[in-house]
Amino acid sequence: MKKLLIVIPILLTIPLLISAGCGGSTVPVELYNEAVAAKSKAEADLAAQIELNENLNNQLATMETDLWEDLEEELTDLRAEINTKQARIDELGTMYPPRNFGDVNELRNWLASQPDPPEARDPVEWLSHGCELQHKALEDGYIINVECTLSEDTMYYTILCTAILEDDSYYYWDPDNDNIQYWMDASYF
């Protein structure tokens, strides 16, 4: 580019010198033709450089636009992911730490919303039903317990789910049904 800037003024001054008759002699025609050819080549080179610069600027503008679009799309995706995770955090905040049921109606309503398992065929399956119910309660932010006792007299197992309500009343029920029974006031323990 610097060569072009130097060559062009020289080429432009040659015709002036020729027309002014500088040096007292006329410039041979072939020298004049070389100067015109050099000027034409310099102009063509300059035009090619200008076109190349325009093409590069267009490519750069296109790349910049594409990059911004990609970044905006990625930002939108990240914001959506953040909102999803924040919603999950908010949901977990309502469940944890787990809490006792507020009253017996809340316990009854929660139990009614749970699917009833088929009646257990043995103590292991019965205990499994209780543990599944305990797990579901924990997922919903509630505390229930599963108790398993063996009667030494009859050698039968008894498996119960229990819950202490906020008023310290203690309830129990069979994990295979929703028949809630009051047991005692747990505030004395």
The pLDDT of residue 102 is 93
- For residue 99, is it within any domain? no
What pLDDT, in 10s, does the model give residues 64-115?
A: 888 898 889 988 998 999 889 888 877 777 667 889 999 999 999 999 999 8
Q: Are residues 87 and 119 in the same domain?
A: no
Q: Are residues 84 and 9 in the same domain?
A: yes
Contacts of 12 (CB under 8 A, 6+ apart): 39
What pLDDT, in 10s, does the model give residues 12-66?
A: 666 655 555 555 555 688 888 888 888 888 888 888 888 888 888 888 888 888 8
The values of phi and psi at residue 142, to 5°, are -115, 160
- For residue 98, is it within any domain? no
- For residue 20, is it within any domain? yes
Look at the chain and report how many structural domains it folds into: 2
Q: Are residues 10 and 87 in the same domain?
A: yes
Can you say whether residue 59 is alpha, beta or left, with left for phi > 0 and alpha for psi between -120 and 50 degrees?
A: alpha
Domain hosting 136: range is 104-188
- How open is the CA angle 177-181-137, to the nearest 5 degrees? 55
What pLDDT, in 10s, does the model give residues 155-176?
A: 888 999 999 999 999 999 999 8
